[in-house]
Amino acid sequence: MPKSLLWVGALLCGVGMAVIIASAVMGYMGLNASYNLGDPTKFEFVLIPFWEIGLGALVLGMACLLGSRRLMKNAPAP
């Protein structure tokens, strides 16, 4: 379990950082990088910026890494 949390945490941290960097680059180029959670056919637009999505993935990845570290620390010795 701790190793799977370690891998998932590392993957989420990498994806989160990549999305944040992509959002920064697109913002530098003048593009609005966001994801629409609304229904465009009803003219409902709930735009979530990419950096917020990346930040959420990064925080979740860090929580997985900290949980993995805590499980490895408290695990009984074989």
33 neighbors 26 (Cβ within 8 angstroms) = yes
With 0-12 CB in 10 A as exposed, 13-18 as middle and 19+ as buried, what is 55? middle
- What integer pLDDT is reported at residue 78 of this predicted model? 67
11 neighbors 58 (Cβ within 8 angstroms) = no
- What integer pLDDT is reported at residue 36 of this predicted model? 87
- pLDDT tens string 15-54: 999 999 999 999 999 998 888 888 888 888 888 999 999 9
CA pair distance 75, 67, nearest whole angstrom: 12
CA pair distance 62, 48, nearest whole angstrom: 21
- pLDDT tens string 53-62: 999 999 999 9
- What integer pLDDT is reported at residue 76 of this predicted model? 75
Q: Taking the domains of the chain in order of start, what are their residue ranges? A: 2-74
Total-model pTM: 0.81
